[in-house]
Amino acid sequence: MISGKTETYVDNKRKDDVRQANIMAAKAVADAVRTSLGPRGMDKMLSTSSGEVIITNDGATILLKMEVLQPAAKMLVELSKSQDIVAGDGTTTVVVIAGALLKQCIALLGKGVHPTIISDAFHRASLKAVEVLTSMAIPVELSDREALVKNASTSLNSKVVSQYSSLLAPLAVDAVLNVVDPARPDSVDLRDIKVIKKLGGTVDDTEMIKGLVFDKKASHTAGGPTRVENAKIGLIQFQISPPKTDIEQNVIVSDYTQMDRILKEERNHILGMIKKIKATGCNVLLIQKSILRDAVTELSLHYLAKAKILVVKDVERDEIEFISKTLNCLPIANIEHFRAEKLGQAELVEEVSVGDGRIVKISGIKNMGRTTTILVRGSNQLVLDEAERSLHDALCVVRCLVNKRFLIAGGGAPEIEVSRQLGAWAKTLQGMESYCVRAFAEALEVIPYTLAENAGLNPITIVTELRNHHANGEVNTGINVRKGQITNILEENVVQPLLVSTSAVSLATECVRMILKIDDIVTVR
């Protein structure tokens, strides 16, 4: 008699189909960004539903704006976002590596390897890869400004604004070094660097400003001052306007004398406030935007102008922290608390015309906090936005170096080296694991392959030659895209922070392992 066991038939086809579909969708996303990798990579033009056009080379931005519907492909978008948070640069690299690993997974699954085995082997391989990268790294000191600038310019070389890298790279380095706190030398908060965009001029006119800049005009009502020397600056969060009831209600006034009295009271109320402000010697007021009622009225602006106080109104709420840190003053929430010791001091506050608009510039701040402002200029909105994104990447690269003070060569050199060492390591392993590790090693070759392809070189020749050089122990040999040949990349000053590469490998592996382990998609209505 046959036992009941042979009768059961398990349908694995569906699970394989779901896995295939997931991998294919994620690979399609990776292939879309692949062409924009490297200094010779192409740019993407994104047209949003609202008719806005964005031209960019930044992997994270491209994927963020793509409307990806497939859940597994969405994971790749999240992947580039997390690389953007951890390292800031290498957002395209991480997606391309993930795509290559998925391609290897299809081949392995086709041979009947179980997904869990692939997943575990990949995990071990990624840990080993991070070890190899760390052993290649060269320590760097923050005092070595030249090395930091090389890093930043390598990051900028693959962007639309690459011709300005000689200007933007030192700018990014100085900005980050300005905000490094000696008390906590390992961390940089990029919120302390404010980037302001102004249309007009070219990217060449971008400058770093010691001080504070508001992308607003000073209030010109009733002829208030637009330039104040030896300024005492008050940052207020209350309104200089007649008080209003909390609920909507009408007061019916039947008599002219009562109406007069209301207006007089309003005037006295405002005058009283302004006298208190003037008494502390304050001559510049920054007024926070108010939601409940007007922060300032025509009347109060008129009195402020008479008192010779320069007013910048509508300061955004989220800028308050940055401003108080820079000016070394305290935000004042109530007129009763308005005292001289809460004011910030600066040598000069003036309104300057820039491009087609005006900005208020505060310079010569006493006891200035550790913050920096960068004013980015550009001839049109697209260039301006792209310059800001590229600058952000460069700032992140310098921040990576502050966090982890090691750098490695760029130009595909580390990937080939890791691939070679993992290949050698795979030969010492047994069984399925050695297959999977070898597949992982092959997948990493996608980076130099794509770099060569985007530069219009012959990828197969280049990658083979690279392997040959690395086998002879030339660890820092990479693709020199400019000369179209293989050279020692370190001497060409193409370097990147260790953190960018290590986080790219480990994040990509993590993402691929998650996609591999999904065997069914259940839609919940």
Residue with tokens 């080379």: 57
Average pLDDT, the chain: 87
Residue 21 lies in a domain: yes
Residue 169 lies in a domain: no
**What residues contact residue 495 under an 8 Å CB cut-off, 6+ apart?**
147, 150, 151, 154, 407, 408, 409, 410, 489
pLDDT of 1 > 70? The answer is no
User: Residues 300-331, buried b or exposed e (16+ Cβ, 10 A)?
Assistant: bbbbbbebebbbbbebeeebbebbbbbbbbeb
Q: Both 110 and 252 in a single domain? A: no
CATH number of the structural domain spanning residue 316: 3.50.7.10
Q: Both 218 and 362 in a single domain? A: yes
Q: Both 441 and 504 in a single domain? A: yes
By annotation, the residues acting in catalysis are: 58, 91-92, 393
Q: How many domains does the chain have?
A: 2
Nearest to 505 by CA among 177, 65, 2, 86: 86
Q: Which helix (H) or strand (E) holds 376?
A: strand 372-378
Please report the pLDDT score of residue 180 as a whole number: 87
pLDDT of 147 > 70? The answer is yes
Identity of the amino acid at 285: L
Q: Pick the last residue of a domain from 310, 340, 367.
A: 367
Retrieve residue 95's tokens.
Answer: 């997606």
Q: Both 127 and 231 in a single domain? A: no
Q: Pick the last residue of a domain from 367, 393, 418.
A: 367
Q: Both 60 and 124 in a single domain? A: yes
Q: Both 327 and 457 in a single domain? A: no
CA-to-CA separations, 466 to 39, 165, 254, 511, in angstroms, rounded: 18, 27, 92, 28
Structural domain of 473? 12-139+408-517
CATH number of the structural domain spanning residue 62: 1.10.560.10
Q: What percent of the chain has pLDDT over 90?
A: 20
Q: Both 293 and 362 in a single domain? A: yes
Residue 156 lies in a domain: no
Q: Both 358 and 223 in a single domain? A: yes
Q: How far apart are CA 109 and CA 20, in angstroms?
A: 9
Q: What phi, psi does 293 have (nearest 5°)?
A: -150, 175
Q: What percent of the chain has pLDDT over 70?
A: 98
Residue 295 lies in a domain: yes
Q: Both 251 and 313 in a single domain? A: yes
Residue 254 lies in a domain: yes
Q: What phi, psi does 147 have (nearest 5°)?
A: -65, -40
Q: Both 274 and 361 in a single domain? A: yes
Residue with tokens 């492909």: 73
Q: How far apart are CA 525 and CA 522, in angstroms?
A: 10
Q: Both 352 and 461 in a single domain? A: no
Which tens digits make up the pLDDT trace of 384-417?
888 998 898 888 888 888 888 898 988 889 999 9
Residue 216 lies in a domain: yes
The alpha carbon of residue 391 and the mean position of all alpha carbons in its chain are separated, in whole angstroms, by 9
Cβ atoms 35, 95 nearer than 8 A: no
Q: Quickly state the pLDDT bin for 468 (edges 50, 70, 90).
A: very high
